[in-house]
């Protein structure tokens, strides 16, 4: 019984083997290149696929068609017949030629697809000629082909280029233009990074992917066509890039580090279609002027976008809406001379336009709501960050605007250490928060409220003077400050320390029960009053006062609560 079972299994295995043999064509090798037969299914016709060419050499021409052979069982005759099928060569398979250092050129007239790593590391390959049938070049197909100079990318026809498809092809289009066809709908990351293209014409109406051309040190110019975005690091480190023309209106975003370290990039034109300029997007470029066109709406310029643009001298923007400049977007601009701000700028984040030794006086837009910024730590501590327009020695005056939407304007650690700043004015009928700003401006002599215009009087008749909340020593060390005619209250550390020329007639403490340290101006005040509800004066609560009205409710006066620090 067991013997019969073994014989049955053996016969069944032989029959299965015969059946498999009968259904499959034999692989075919021609000139050291092996092809396999791919049967047609799912609307794909039968075709031949290159599966190995590692022993091929010299100049290769793939045949248009390959004839395959198989044995097929003829039931009527009881014998195997020879069957032949001729199909087109449509696919160069994955890794089929990879690391073959002996091939120099490839001609493939009817190829539809070049699969992943097909020619990766073929360091002697110089030229690829493909027909108009080529649709797909997959991941790393030609990566590391350091001698490759040209490959035709058919238009129309080509649909996709995979990740790192031509990465480190250092001679590719080195003396001509690499044209991305309009028919392309997908390009992978790193597709051409480190390649040798001198010029690029991006005709595809899709986004340029992350790191697409990063490290292309020979690249001198690009035409962006109708791209709808530029990915992160897309052209980072393209040291010869000096022209990118006009960034089209279809382009809505420029990714992080997109043009970072393009040290030869002198100019470009922004469109009003942009909504995002990423972190370090243009850092380290050689641009001398930057113009934002009219009609930029909802644009965010992210941190360090124009960091250390060492040649940038002029910045201008025309009327737009809801423009946000994040922290350090414009830092390290040692040559900056002029700024023309448009209406539409809402926020200028921390550490913008500071340490600019050549920056001259400018006007702030009436749409501004915040200058400078802060971080909230996990324990709730509010840290004021290094602000804007600090240490700009040529600034002589600051006219703070009136917000057109009647919103409070917040100033954080800005306009500090401006050596020649002698006057600051505030708009009538406007609320401000002065937090750690205007410190150490030794020549600042007056902070005034400008006279109201007729429009201000009619629209905001309830008050006339500018009104500020002053925090964290906003005017400390302004040793020449003599006039301060804006209404104000002190919070969180007060202000005016070492303002020895400044005197106030009266000051009313706004705290209801406990008066904290530095609750009054640190300059001389003739008379201080406080609410009838105050119960306690903390250490150094009131300094440099002539007379003080003490309420009946007061119960605790801490040591050194009254007097000079």
Nearest to 261 by CA among 200, 307, 296: 307
Please determine, for residue 459, whether its predicted confidence score (pLDDT) is greater than 70. no
**Tokens coding 13:** 């295995």
Give the pLDDT score at 463. Answer: 58
**Tokens coding 348:** 């200028």
The SS3 of residue 17 is helix
Please determine, for residue 13, whether its predicted confidence score (pLDDT) is greater than 90. no
Please determine, for residue 457, whether its predicted confidence score (pLDDT) is greater than 70. no
Q: Which of these ranges, 300-304, 394-398, 493-497, has the smallest mean pLDDT?
A: 493-497
Give the pLDDT score at 462. Answer: 53
pLDDT digits (tens, 9 = 90+) for 519-529: 999 999 999 99
Cβ neighbourhood burial of 533 (10 Å; 0-12, 13-18, 19+):
exposed
Provide mean pLDDT across the span 478-489.
95
The band of 20, judged by pLDDT with boundaries at 50, 70 and 90, is very low
Nearest to 292 by CA among 266, 262, 323, 313: 323
The band of 563, judged by pLDDT with boundaries at 50, 70 and 90, is confident
Bond from prior residue into 156 cis (ω within 30 degrees of 0)? yes
User: Are 132 and 153 contacting, i.e. CB atoms less than 8 angstroms apart?
Assistant: no
pTM above 0.85, yes or no: yes
The band of 224, judged by pLDDT with boundaries at 50, 70 and 90, is very high
CA–CA gap between residue 25 and residue 71 (Å, rounded): 8
Give the pLDDT score at 136. Answer: 97
Give the pLDDT score at 472. Answer: 93
The count of C-alpha atoms lying within 13 angstroms of the C-alpha of 224, restricted to the half-sphere facing its C-beta, is 26
**Tokens coding 203:** 């005709």
Largest CA distance in the chain: 127
Give the pLDDT score at 458. Answer: 45
Higher confidence at residue 21 or residue 499? Answer: 499
Give the pLDDT score at 461. Answer: 47
DSSP string, 412-461: ES-STT-TT--EEEE-TT-EEEEES-STT-TT--EEEEPPPPHHHHHH-T
CA 168 to chain CA centroid, Å, is 24
Q: Which runs of E-coded beta strand occur in 167-255? A: 177-180, 186-187, 199-202, 221-223, 243-246, 253-254
Q: Which of these ranges, 126-130, 188-192, 312-316, 381-385, has the smallest mean pLDDT?
A: 381-385
Provide mean pLDDT across the span 296-318.
94
Nearest to 285 by CA among 337, 236, 247: 236
pLDDT digits (tens, 9 = 90+) for 59-115: 999 999 999 998 888 887 778 888 899 999 999 999 999 999 999 999 998 899 999
| Residue 63 main-chain phi, psi, to 5 deg | -65, 155
Please determine, for residue 206, whether its predicted confidence score (pLDDT) is greater than 90. yes
Q: Which of these ranges, 153-157, 182-186, 261-265, 532-536, has the smallest mean pLDDT?
A: 153-157
Q: Which runs of E-coded beta strand occur in 112-234? A: 113-114, 127-130, 136-137, 150-151, 160-161, 177-180, 186-187, 199-202, 221-223
Secondary structure element (H or E) that encloses residue 5, with its range: helix 2-23
Tokens 């934002």 locate to 292
Provide mean pLDDT across the span 116-129.
97
Provide mean pLDDT across the span 545-556.
94
The band of 3, judged by pLDDT with boundaries at 50, 70 and 90, is low
**Tokens coding 258:** 């997109």
Provide mean pLDDT across the span 363-376.
94
Q: Which of these ranges, 102-111, 343-352, 375-384, 544-553, has the smallest mean pLDDT?
A: 375-384
In whole numbers, what is the pLDDT of the chain averaged over residues? Answer: 91
Give the pLDDT score at 79. Answer: 83
User: Are 492 and 513 contacting, i.e. CB atoms less than 8 angstroms apart?
Assistant: no
Tokens 């997908």 locate to 186
Query: 80 Cβ partners below 8 Å, 6+ apart?
Result: 22, 71, 72, 73, 74
Please determine, for residue 518, whether its predicted confidence score (pLDDT) is greater than 70. yes
């Amino acid at each position: 019984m067991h013997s019969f079972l073994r014989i049955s299994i053996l016969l069944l295995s032989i029959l299965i083997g015969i059946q498999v043999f009968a259904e499959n064509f034999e692989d075919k090798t021609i000139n050291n290149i092996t092809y396999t037969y791919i049967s047609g299914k799912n609307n794909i016709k039968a075709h031949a696929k290159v599966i190995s060419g590692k022993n091929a050499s010299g100049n290769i021409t793939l045949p248009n068609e390959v004839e395959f052979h198989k044995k097929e069982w003829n039931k009527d005759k009881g014998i195997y017949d020879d069957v032949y099928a001729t199909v087109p060569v449509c696919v160069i398979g994955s890794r089929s030629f990879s690391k073959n250092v002996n091939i120099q050129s490839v001609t493939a007239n009817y190829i539809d697809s070049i699969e992943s790593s097909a020619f990766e590391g073929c360091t002697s390959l110089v030229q690829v000629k493909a027909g108009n049938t080529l649709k797909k070049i997959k991941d790393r197909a030609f990566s590391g082909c350091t001698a490759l100079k040209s490959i035709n990318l058919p238009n129309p026809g080509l649909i996709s280029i995979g990740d790192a498809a031509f990465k480190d092809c250092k001679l590719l289009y080195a003396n001509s233009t690499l044209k991305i066809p309009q028919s392309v709908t997908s390009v992978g990351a790193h597709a051409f990074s480190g390649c040798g293209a001198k010029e690029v014409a991006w005709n595809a109406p899709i986004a340029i992917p992350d790191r697409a051309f990063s490290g292309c040190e020979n690249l001198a110019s690009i035409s962006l066509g109708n791209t709808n975005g530029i990915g992160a690091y897309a052209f980072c480190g393209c040291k010869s890039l000096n022209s990118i023309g006009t960034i089209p209106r279809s382009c809505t975003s420029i990714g992080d580090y997109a043009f970072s370290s393009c040290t030869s990039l002198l100019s470009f034109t922004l469109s009003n279609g942009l909504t995002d300029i990423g972190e370090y997007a243009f850092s380290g470029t050689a641009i001398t002027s930057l113009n934002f066109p009219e009609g930029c709406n909802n644009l965010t310029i992210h941190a360090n976008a124009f960091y250390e643009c060492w040649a940038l001298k002029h910045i201008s923007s025309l009327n737009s809406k809801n423009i946000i400049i994040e922290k350090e977007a414009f830092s390290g601009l040692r040559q900056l001379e002029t700024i023309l701000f448009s209406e539409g700028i809402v926020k200028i984040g921390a550490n913008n336009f500071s340490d600019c030794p050549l920056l001259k006086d400018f006007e702030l837009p009436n749409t501004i709501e915040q200058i400078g910024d802060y971080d909230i730590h996990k324990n709730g501590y509010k840290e004021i960050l290094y602000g804007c327009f600090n240490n700009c020695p040529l600034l002589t005056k600051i006219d703070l605007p009136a917000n057109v939407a009647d919103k409070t304007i917040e100033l954080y650690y800005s306009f500090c250490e401006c050596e020649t700043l002698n006057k600051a004015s505030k708009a009538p009928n406007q609320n401000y928060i002065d937090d750690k700003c205007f410190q150490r401006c030794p020549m600042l002599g007056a902070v005034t409220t400008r006279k109201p215009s007729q429009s201000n009087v009619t629209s905001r008749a309830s008050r006339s003077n500018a009104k500020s909340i002053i925090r964290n020593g906003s005017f400390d060390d302004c040793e020449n400050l003599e006039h301060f005619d804006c209404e104000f209250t002190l919070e969180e550390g007060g202000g005016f320390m070492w303002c020895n020329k400044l005197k106030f007639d009266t000051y009313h403490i706004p705290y209801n029960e406990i008066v904290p340290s530095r609750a009054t101006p640190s300059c001389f005040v003739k008379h201080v009053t406080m609410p009838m509800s105050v119960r306690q004066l903390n250490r150094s609560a009131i300094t440099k006062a002539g007379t003080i009205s003490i309420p009946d409710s007061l119960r605790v006066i801490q040591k050194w609560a009254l007097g000079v620090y």
